[in-house]
Amino acid sequence: MSKVQRATIDALMRQAPFDGSLPPERMRRDFEAQMTSGPAPAGVSVTPSVLGGRPALTVEPEGGATTGTILYFHGGAWVFGSPATALQLTAALVRRTGARAVSVDYRLAPEHPFPAAVEDGLAAYRELLDQGVPAERIVLAGESAGGALGIVTLLAAREAALPMPAAAVAFSPGLDATLSGESMTTKHDADPLFSRAELATVFTHHLAGQDPAQPLLSPALHADPAGLPPLLLQAGSNEVLLDDSTRFAARAAEAGVDVRLDVTEDVPHVFQAFEGMLDEADAALDRAGRFITDALAGPLDGVA
């Protein structure tokens, strides 16, 4: 893998570090402009849709989907982002798996603080089931806050006695709203994007004064992962959120969950977004694609 590529990405991200004190409208506008300025993703079709009462984008491979549905949740610290900002990542998984994806525009804080996004995630999953999509043919996926939303949607679905999907994939998920991981300190200088202070500032919108020490806000500390489906957690070693993945993976393994912790050295938060620019991004997406393909290839419930 290329040290030059990693250094270039690090320098690029340090030119515009995250500022959690900006007004939400400004963060939304800037992030949308940054993430949608490139060409449309190749090899897929994109169609506006609705799922769980929320706007969505349905992304399908050219020639049509083969099997399965990826329920995708975008990142953005619960405050900004949209299916459009995550479109390149969503398309990358669609191309690698042949599955269709539905990326949901869940409600954002501060207008809709916790638990609004979780309610939307659960509603989207429930509607897929109601449409007749077998749980064994659904994989949840997302990046950053969206990766966390995938995990907590699993927890909410379990509590609602819904069948578990085939698997879930989370890229650099934020799984500890208390921001208490050691990596918040040990990775402070290595992380080109985030700091504990900036995350604490932006998280106030999502928390809206609520206690962060609860399972659906800090599952790395307080959730019981028992009964969850196979999980793939991918993170970079150069991010303050690293311990969110490592601690939740440890809890999941202790609870008997089939969990894979995939940490790539010397790369930042959601490095997978640099597909085509960073060898490690392409390789990680390849691994995620194989994980999803294998999960969706399993037999339907009750079918040998």
Q: Which residue in 74, 205, 206, 269 is the catalytic one? A: 269
Burial zone of 126 (CB within 10 Å; 0-12 exposed, 13-18 middle, 19+ buried): middle
Contact predicate 281/272, CB 8 Å: yes
pLDDT tens, 169-185?
999 999 999 999 999 99
**Arithmetic mean of pLDDT, 232-250:** 98
State yes or no: is 144 an active-site residue. yes
> Can you read off the two tokens belonging to residue 253?
């393994």
| Residue 67 DSSP code | S
pLDDT tens, 113-165?
999 999 999 999 999 999 999 999 999 999 999 999 999 999 999 999 999 99
pLDDT tens, 9-62?
999 999 988 999 999 999 999 999 999 998 999 999 999 999 999 999 999 999
Reported as a pLDDT band with limits 50, 70 and 90, residue 191 is: very high
Supply the pLDDT for residue 65. Answer: 67
What 3-state DSSP class applies to 219? helix
> Can you read off the two tokens belonging to residue 278?
């960073």
**Report field, pTM of the whole predicted structure over 0.95:** yes
Which helix or strand (DSSP H or E) is residue 147 part of? helix 145-159
Supply the pLDDT for residue 304. Answer: 43
State yes or no: is 269 an active-site residue. yes
Whole-angstrom distance, CA of residue 304 vs CA of residue 295 = 15
Supply the pLDDT for residue 112. Answer: 98
pLDDT tens, 212-225?
999 999 999 999 99
pLDDT at 300 over 90: no
Going from the C-alpha of 220 to that of each of 136, 196, 256, 274, the distances in angstroms are: 25, 16, 15, 26
pLDDT tens, 16-29?
889 999 999 999 99
pLDDT at 1 over 70: no
Q: Which residue in 60, 127, 143, 239 is the catalytic one? A: 239
Supply the pLDDT for residue 302. Answer: 54
| Residue 271 DSSP code | G
pLDDT tens, 254-264?
999 999 999 99
DSSP secondary structure, 179-222, as one string: ---THHHHTTTT-SS--HHHHHHHHHHHHTT--S-STTT-HHHH
Supply the pLDDT for residue 299. Answer: 79
State yes or no: is 74 an active-site residue. no
Q: Which residue in 82, 144, 218, 245 is the catalytic one? A: 144
pLDDT tens, 78-121?
999 999 999 999 999 999 999 999 999 999 999 999 999 999 99
Instruction: Compute the mean pLDDT over every residue in the chain, rounded to the nearest whole number.
Output: 96
Q: Residues of 262-297 as b/e, b for ≥16 C-beta within 10 angstroms?
A: bebebbbbbbbbbbeebebbbebbebbbebbbebbe
